[in-house]
Chain A
Amino acid sequence: MLVDKIDVSLGPTSPRLQFLQKTQNSDGGWGYFPGKQSWIEPTVYATLALSQNPASAPQVARAWNLIRSWELPQAGWQISPQIAEANWTSALCINLYAARGICDSHLIRTVDWMIQTVGAEGGFLARARAAINPVPNECDYGLQGWPWRPNTSSWVEPTAHAIIALNRAAVTFGNRINLAGVRARIDLAERMLLDRRCQDGGWNYGNRRVLRTWLPSFPDTTALALLGLLANRRAEATTSLARAQDYWRGSTSPLATAWLKICLRNYGLLSRQQSPPAAGGGPSQDILLAAIQSLGEAAEEHCILGLPDSLAGRTSA
C-alpha cells in the first residue's frame, strides 16, 4: 500500500500531461491514482486534457476505445470495469462526445435518459415522508436537479455537470437531440441551483440550511455551480462570483482552485497564466486533479469544460 511516488516533474513543459500519459492503464483508462483500476471520471478528464496535445493522440485513441466499450445498452456509461451502472458521470461522457462531435444513437438515448432522471426528493414517497415528518433541510424540493446515482436526491455537483453537458450537447448537436426537453430540464435545474445557494453566496454539496442553521459554502462546489449557471443565469450569479473570487484568493485546496480557475476563466475574470495565491501542495499523484488542472490551463480562451461563445454570450476574456 505504501507505493513510491511517480516523478511528475518530467520536463519543462506540460508536466501534468506527461504524468497523465505515463499513468494510463493497460485497458486505456485511468484510475484516481497511479496503478489503480480505471474509473470513468478520471478517464474522461484525462482524455479531455490530453486532447489538447496532438502528441497524445495514441493515448487518447486507447481511452476513447475504452469509453466506447463502456456504453451501456439502455443509456449511459458504466463507471468502472466491474460497475455496469450509469450515474452522474454520464454527463461527463456527454460533454466528451460533444467535444468530439459524436452524436450517435447511444448519445441521443443517453440525453433522453438524462432528461428523465430527476432527484428522488420530488417523488411521491419522498413528499409523503416529508408531510409526515417535515424535512429539516430548508429548500424547495419541487426544484429537481440531478442525483449522484439514480433514485436518490439531487445535489449541486451532479446537477452542475449535467447542465454543462446538456448545454454543450444542445449547442453542438441542435435538433438532433431533444432540444425542448433539454431546455426545460436545464431551466428546472438552474432554479434548483439558485435555490440551494448558501447565505454567503456560494454553494456547498446542496444543503444551505439545516435544522435552523445556515451552512457554509465550499470553494469547489461554488465554482461548479457557477459553471452550471454560466449559460443562462449570469445576471443572477453576480454576487456568487465575488464569493468565488474570494475563494480563489484564499483556498488551500488544489482541486478547488483548479475548478475555480476554469470557472473564473469562463466568466472572463481570470487569465490563463494566473496562479492561485494560496493553494498548497507540491506535485500530486492525483490523476483527476492533474487532469482538471490541465484543463484550467488549456490554451483555448474558453476552456474545454466551458461553453462555446454562442452559448456563454461573451466576446472576450
Chain B
Amino acid sequence: MKKTMDRRKFLPLAGAGLATGYAAIHRGQEKPSGPRTASSVAILKAASYEQDLLDHIIRGLSECGLRVKGKNVLLKPNLVEFSADTCINTDPRVVAAAVEAFERLGAAEVIIGEGPGHRRDTLDVAEQASYFSAIPQFERRFVDLNRDDVSFVKHFVDSSGIYLANTAVRADLIVSMPKLKTHHWSGVTASMKNYFGVVPGAVYGWPKNQLHFFGITPSILALNRILGRKSFAIVDGIVGMEGNGPIQGTPKHCGVLIFGSDLVAVDASCCRVMGVDPNGLSYLTGAADGNLATEWIEQRGERIENVSQNFALIKEFAHLRKS
C-alpha cells in the first residue's frame, strides 16, 4: 500500500523535526552536560478534590526525594480564565494543599504567582476560580507575574533575550502546577508550557504574542532551559480537560496527581496518562533529544497503564493518539 502524508500530518512532523534540529544545534545551551540518568516521576491516585490532598502531596514530594527546607518556593498554578461550565484552572484545593505541604517541610517562604495570557485582572480570575476562599491568606501570598518587576535574560531564542518576572527568576524552587489538558496549539499542555505565565504581560502584552513569534516550541524549550533546573512539577490530573483545550475543552475525570523534578519526564508521563504519544510533541522531542523512551523515566506510585485513559483530541492532533 502506498503511504501518503497529508499537510495535517506533515506539519506537526516537520515541526518536531525542526525542534529536534534546533535542540541539536543549541545542545550546549539546552541540555545539562554529563551522563543522562533516569528521572523519577510519581503518579498518585486521587479520586477527588475532597480527599486528603495534603497527604498526597507530601507523599509525592517524598517519592521524588525533593528537599525544600530553607528554600523560597514559587508555586505556579495554571490560572487562565474562568468558566463555570468547565475546568480551566488548577484546582485551588491542590494549590492550598501544596502551600501547606511546602510550609510543613520547612520552606522559608511559599509564594503563589501567575501571569495569565488573556486576562488583565488576574485577581478577578483568581476570585472567580475560588482561590481566595480556598487558600488561606491568598492575596498576601500572590504575585501577579504579569506586572512584577523584571530581569533580562540573554539568548532566550537565538540571539533574542527576554524579560522574565523577578519572582520566578529569584525563586530557589519553582513548582509548576498545571492542569492536565489538551491544547489546541501545542497538543498537550502540562508543566513545561505552564511557564508561559512567568513572561510578563507588562512587557509583552495580553496575549504574550511575542512568544508565538519566537515560536511556541522554541519558547517552551527556552523557558525550560532557563528555569528547568530549579523546577518541580505537581500536575493536577484529578479532573483534567480534553478536546478543545486549554479553555473550551470538556472536563475529564482522571483521578491522578503527577510529580517530578524533570519537567520533560513529567510531561512525557502526562502524555502517556492521556493516551497521547509524547514523541509526537515537538517541544518534548526537542527537549529530550528525540528520546522519550520509558527507560529514562523511573515511574513510581501507580503504573501508567492503571490510570491511563484516552483524552479526546481535536482533529488537528488526532495523529498524537498512542497506538
Contacts and interface: CB of A to CB of B under 8 A. Distances in A.
Interface string B124-159: 100110000000000011011001111010000000
Contact of A148 (B118, B163, B206): B206
Nearest to A37: B149
B124 A254 contact: yes
A36 interface: yes
Interface size class of B (residues with CB under 8 A): 35 or more
A1 B109 contact: yes
Interface string A78-112: 01101100011000000000000000000000000
A2 B209 CA distance: 31
A297 interface: no
A120 interface: yes
A155 B147 contact: no
A316 B82 CA distance: 38
A35 B181 CA distance: 37
B248 A83 contact: no
A88 B167 contact: no
A218 B149 CA distance: 26
A36 B109 contact: no
Nearest to B184: A211
Contacts, number: 98
Contacts of B210: 148-149, 152
Contacts of A252: 124, 127-128
A220 B207 CA distance: 14
Contacts of A286: 123
Contacts of B123: 281, 286
A149 B163 contact: no
A205 B121 contact: no
Interface stretch (B88-96, B197-205, B228-236, B291-299): B197-205
A136 B204 CA distance: 22
B59 interface: no
A31 interface: yes
Nearest to B147: A32
A241 B204 CA distance: 29
| Interface hub of A41, A83, A148, A255 (most chain B Cβ within 10 A) | A148
B136 to A, nearest CB: 12
Contacts of A2: 109, 140-141
Contacts of B184: 136, 210-211
B46 interface: no
A310 B23 CA distance: 58
Interface in A195-236: 204-205, 210-211, 213, 215, 218, 220
28 contacts: A1-B167, A2-B141, A32-B144, A32-B202, A36-B149, A79-B202, A79-B203, A80-B150, A83-B203, A87-B205, A133-B7, A133-B11, A136-B184, A147-B205, A148-B204, A149-B205, A152-B205, A152-B210, A155-B207, A158-B205, A210-B184, A211-B314, A220-B120, A252-B128, A256-B124, A281-B124, A286-B123, A288-B147
Interface of B: 7, 11, 109, 111, 118-121, 123-124, 127-128, 140-141, 143-144, 147-150, 152, 163, 167, 184, 202-207, 209-210, 212-213, 244, 248, 314, 316
Given A83-B163, A255-B120, A286-B123, 8 more contacts: A148-B209, A149-B205, A155-B206, A211-B244, A218-B119, A220-B121, A256-B124, A288-B147
